[in-house]
A and B are shown apart, each in its own frame.
Chain A
Amino acid sequence: MATTMITTLERSSRAAARGLSDISIRNLFIIPTVLFLIVFNIFPLIYSLGYSFTDFRASTNAPANFVGLQNYRDLLNDPYVWSNFAITAKYVIISVAGQLLVGFGVAMLLNRDIPLKGLITTLLLLPMMLSMAVVGLFWKLLYDPSWGVINYALGLGNFEWLADPKMARYAVALTDIWMWSPFVMLLSLAGLSAVPKHLYEAAAIDRAGPFYTFFRITLPLVAPILMIAVIFRTMEAFKTFDLAYILTSQPTAELISIRLYKMAFQEWQTGRSCAMAYIVLIMVLAITNIYVKYLNKVKER
């Protein structure tokens, strides 16, 4: 008995001499993080899920009444909501495809020995370091038909970018492409620099043309990192709010995030907007899941 007590005391004194034990250090890092996640992520998530089954309006003092799946039914039968989803889908496709083409294209140009390569790369990264609100206001001025420089430079006269219902979403997407292509460029550059040089040398010995080299060597090896860029940018584009909100109020550019904001904070349809947020969440999860599966397939090749 006395021996056991002495051994335990020795162990604890050794731990004390070392400072904190591994378990204590682990707990010190994990517990605050878990608590933070529970308080700020999981609790609101569950709480809002509860509200999504009620007719609660935060602007009134009336209690929340349980309405079952009515909010979900109403939203999924609302043609406006479907139109917002369609606008968002088109916007995501245009925006992400544009960023992919421009970003990867610029990365290909920069992936060679050119003078001032570092400075050019840094300058090209500037747009994505700016605040969305600033970019929105800046481009709003550029697009202005009366004093905007774009129409002046392109000789478009009074062409309306933001006021034209058909053009507005393309104008927002163009701004997003300008802002986020550098992100794709940065990832692509990392991928391109990782392609082993000897593969190109072997291709050159075999007299492979640039087309063959690109599609057989460059693209397959850079594809996984491009897929990561696509995942990030798709999720971000799906969530776009500030840029579209500042640039235009055209219904044809009313993304799902803007509709959700209006429903929640201008109309105070709290229960309904919670249901809408869950529909959006499920859609984003589904899209991301498809992408991740595809990414894994690309990696396996």
Chain B
Amino acid sequence: MRKLVTSVLAGIGLTLACGTSVYAQEKSLTIFWAEWDPANYLQELGNEYEKETGVKITVETTPWSDFQTKAFTEFNAHGDAYDLVVGDSQWLGAGSTGGHYVDLTDFFKKHDLGNVMAPATVKYYAEYPGNSGKYWAIPLEGDAVGWSYRKDWFEDPKEKEAFKAKYGYDLDVPKDFKALRDIAEFFYRPDQKRYGIAIYTDNSYDAMAMGFENALFSYGGELGDYSTYKVDGHINSDKAIAALDAYKELYKFTPPGWAKSFFVEDNQAITENLAAMSMNFFAFFPSLINEASNPNAKNTGFFANPPGPNGDQFAALGGQGISVISYSKKQEEAMKFLEWFIKDETQKKWAALGGYTCSAAVLKSPEFQSATPYNKAFYETMFKVKDFWAVPEYAELLQQLNQRVYPYMIGGEGTAKQTLDALAADWNATFKKYGRVQ
């Protein structure tokens, strides 16, 4: 009898435990993102949400190299493993037209996010097609390309004197692309294992595009006309050709073996005393002000992408918006999380944790701009950003850019004009293939 009672009680206990587990499962959300610091900050923010609401937030991450493949494999399988995704801005076209993202237009208008968030973040992280008034994501992590530099090298009186003697003006944070080039040349000293500059050169995914865009946009060039998809006369304009030449010129002053470099290597250039200046997304700068990861943290400064010869000043956009996945069975719960996320208090917490808020009010606040040595440069940059094509076939366009620009940049094959003429022809053929141009 005693055994029977024990067994019945154990059975009831087990049933209740299972019931609780199912309940807990319903009260949880999984967000998919790439493996980097901001994802850890988002997990911390999610823990706050759990304390307030009891809904468990899990930020599942994967290395950047697998991020796109893993996300789209899950989308293509119509899987519900993730409820929300913090997807790259280029994914908007593929995510929306492929039916993977939930239409957030009503949510966007209800909360007036077009005015609450910084204009560039709304344009590039949320809206597709451009100027359509259709929104598929909430701007989450603002990001753009900026620069870090070795303050101690720049401020050394001997270096300053030598620089002035050679170039005729003061060594300081570069005021334009010409100064960027001169400083890179000045510090290029292979015999001392010291080099001028670290730039993006990797030709997989979007590294090369993100790097080249900084020169392209600041030289007044464009990838094309986003409304008509006309590329001829844009990507191969005189300004674009000059920009590619300028970017290639910078490659001459990079450390040896710099032909496959992206965000990891560009931070290493500063931490390993390799380069005077280094290009990178702002989201990777936190580790540069951390003495544990950067022995030169105290001597590292930051600046926004400098203007080109005509005074145009833009930078390549990074960053992501958060979208609700249409195959999720917890869409209502996901919308509640988004409502909480866009609140002013949450945005302040997000910024305090280290996330790059897209809230215009928080970005403009003095607290935000003085919180880190690079927040001011970030603020300045976020209002001067441009992005790559966000069309569903963006990956083919990226691949074509890599195939054309890389051999010229790294291998010195052909001229900038030949390279960009060929790229214009490639892109035109791709847009024709997908019926965007006749």
Contacts and interface: CB of A to CB of B under 8 A. Distances in A.
Interface of A: 57-61, 80, 144-146, 158, 160, 162-166, 248-252, 262, 265-269
Given A59-B392, A61-B99, A163-B410, A268 B72 contact: yes
A43 B413 CA distance: 44
Given A57-B392, A146-B193, A250-B410, 13 more contacts: A59-B392, A146-B255, A146-B256, A158-B257, A160-B256, A163-B410, A165-B407, A165-B410, A249-B202, A250-B259, A266-B68, A266-B205, A268-B395
B399 A267 contact: yes
Contact of A158 (B256, B393, B407): B256
Most B C-beta atoms less than 10 A away, residue of A60, A80, A144, A164: A60
A249 B255 CA distance: 18
Interface in B65-117: 68-69, 72-73, 75-76, 94, 97-99
A80 B403 contact: yes
A279 to B, nearest CB: 19
A300 B256 CA distance: 54
Contacts of A269: 396
Contacts of A251: 203, 402-403, 406-407, 411
Contacts of B258: 163
A57 B410 CA distance: 32
B396 A267 contact: yes
Given A59-B75, A165-B407, A266 B395 contact: yes
A158 B259 CA distance: 13
Most B C-beta atoms less than 10 A away, residue of A80, A145, A249, A266: A249
B54 interface: no
A267 B69 CA distance: 9
Nearest to B412: A165
A160 B261 CA distance: 14
Contacts of A160: 256-257, 259
A247 to B, nearest CB: 9
Q: List 7 A-B pairs, minimum CB-CB distance, nearest first.
A: A163-B259, A145-B256, A165-B411, A158-B256, A267-B395, A145-B257, A60-B98
Interface in B246-294: 255-260, 274
B309 to A, nearest CB: 29
Nearest to A147: B272
21 contacts: A58-B76, A59-B76, A59-B98, A80-B403, A145-B256, A146-B255, A160-B257, A160-B259, A162-B259, A165-B413, A249-B203, A250-B259, A251-B203, A251-B402, A251-B406, A251-B407, A262-B399, A266-B69, A266-B395, A267-B396, A269-B396
A80 B410 CA distance: 18
B190 interface: yes
Most A C-beta atoms less than 10 A away, residue of B72, B73, B205, B410: B410
Interface string B386-402: 00000011011001001
A59 B407 CA distance: 29
Given A59-B94, A165-B411, A249 B399 contact: no
Interface in B302-352: none
A262 B399 CA distance: 9
A188 B250 CA distance: 51
B405 to A, nearest CB: 10
B204 interface: yes
B259 A59 contact: no
Contacts of B403: 80, 251
B156 to A, nearest CB: 23
A251 B405 CA distance: 11
Nearest to B411: A165
A146 B273 CA distance: 12
A80 B403 CA distance: 9
B425 to A, nearest CB: 12
Nearest to B272: A146
A64 to B, nearest CB: 13
Nearest to A262: B399
A249 B204 contact: yes
Contact of B257 (A61, A162, A165, A266): A162
A122 to B, nearest CB: 34
B304 to A, nearest CB: 29
A252 B413 CA distance: 12
B173 to A, nearest CB: 27
A140 to B, nearest CB: 9
Nearest to B392: A60
A144 B413 CA distance: 23
A248 B190 CA distance: 23
A89 B389 CA distance: 35
Contacts of B99: 60-61
Contacts of A250: 259-260, 410
A57 B203 CA distance: 23
Contacts of A164: 259
Contacts of B97: 60
A61 B399 contact: no
Nearest to B71: A59
B263 to A, nearest CB: 15
Nearest to B204: A249
A61 B69 contact: no
Interface in B175-220: 190, 193, 202-205
B269 to A, nearest CB: 11
Contacts of B190: 158
A265 B205 CA distance: 11
B260 A163 contact: yes
